[in-house]
Chains A and B, each alone.
Chain A
Amino acid sequence: DAGVTQSPTHLIKTRGQQVTLRCSPKSGHDTVSWYQQALGQGPQFIFQYYEEEERQRGNFPDRFSGHQFPNYSSELNVNALLLGDSALYLCASSFQGYYGYTFGSGTRLTVV
């Protein structure tokens, strides 16, 4: 039973570039949430997708966008990268938002 898988594991981008991160939820899960975790901080909620729609959004600018596909996998896109976007990006899945979430191992993004 595969857990949550994220790709890539590490990424280095230049300021101003765009990046796409990918997530496949745990088998049986249909809801995907994305989090940003800066060093020394707790994960910050970016948004949540269910039934291919963004259901809830945290306090992140429109440069952050996402998508959920019919197979429940999801992408996080970040445009016009800033140095401050450097962080660990975590994907978490759940079944319809119930109970605790299962996290992927994350994508470590470095913006230079």
Chain B
Amino acid sequence: RKEVEQDPGPFNVPEGATVAFNCTYSNSASQSFFWYRQDCRKEPKLLMSVYSSGNEDGRFTAQLNRASQYISLLIRDSKLSDSATYLCAVKGATGTASKLTFGTGTRLQVTL
């Protein structure tokens, strides 16, 4: 089983739609969770951290379910500029022994 799993998509949605991505992780000791956005042939950029209580940043909402070991990202009112690959990332522990493990990414295409 992969450490971090995502549906690769692609998700094709019209502008203005709401879209949700899920990600599951296998290591129950994982401590930190993130969503990254990666545009075609570019580096991943941190979109948001995911906190236990859930957190929101504008049109983006992230949720963490430790019991079921999954995290989610909800994008409301999708824009054309949201088209990208969204990578889920999980870190095992804080400090220098940590490594960030990524899923394969979910591709989102927002259309007119």
Which residues does A use to contact B, with CB under 8 Å? Answer: 31, 33, 35, 40-45, 48, 50-51, 55-56, 58, 88, 90, 92, 96-106, 108
User: Which of B14-22, B39-47, B60-68, B76-84 contacts its partner?
Assistant: B39-47
Q: Which one of B34, B96, B103 lies within 8 Å of A55 (CB-CB)?
A: B96
Most chain B beta-carbon neighbours within 10 Å: one of A58, A92, A96, A101: A101
Q: Which one of B8, B41, B97, B102 lies within 8 Å of A97 (CB-CB)?
A: B97
Q: Contact between B100 and A31 (Cβ–Cβ < 8 Å)?
A: no
Q: Contact between A48 and B99 (Cβ–Cβ < 8 Å)?
A: yes
Q: Contact between B46 and A100 (Cβ–Cβ < 8 Å)?
A: yes
A3 to chain B: closest residue by CB: B43
Most chain B beta-carbon neighbours within 10 Å: one of A58, A97, A102: A97
- Which residues of chain B from 14 to 36 have any CB-CB distance to chain A below 8 Å in the complex? 32, 34, 36
Q: Contact between A103 and B45 (Cβ–Cβ < 8 Å)?
A: yes
CB distance from A94 to the nearest CB of B (A): 8
Q: Which one of A40, A58, A96, A104 lies within 8 Å of B95 (CB-CB)?
A: A96
Q: Which one of B8, B42, B44, B91 lies within 8 Å of A43 (CB-CB)?
A: B44
Q: List the 7 closest A-B pairs by CB distance, nearest first.
A: A42-B102, A103-B43, A97-B98, A100-B46, A42-B104, A50-B96, A97-B96
Known: A41-B104, A42-B87, A42-B104. A97 touches B43 (CB 8 A): no
Most chain A beta-carbon neighbours within 10 Å: one of B34, B44, B91, B97: B44
Q: Contact between A105 and B100 (Cβ–Cβ < 8 Å)?
A: no
A-B contact pairs, 19 of them (CB 8 A): A33-B99, A33-B100, A40-B8, A42-B4, A42-B87, A42-B104, A43-B102, A50-B96, A55-B96, A56-B98, A56-B99, A90-B44, A96-B96, A100-B34, A100-B49, A102-B46, A103-B45, A104-B43, A105-B43
Complex contacts, A43 vs chain B, CB 8 Å:
44, 87, 102
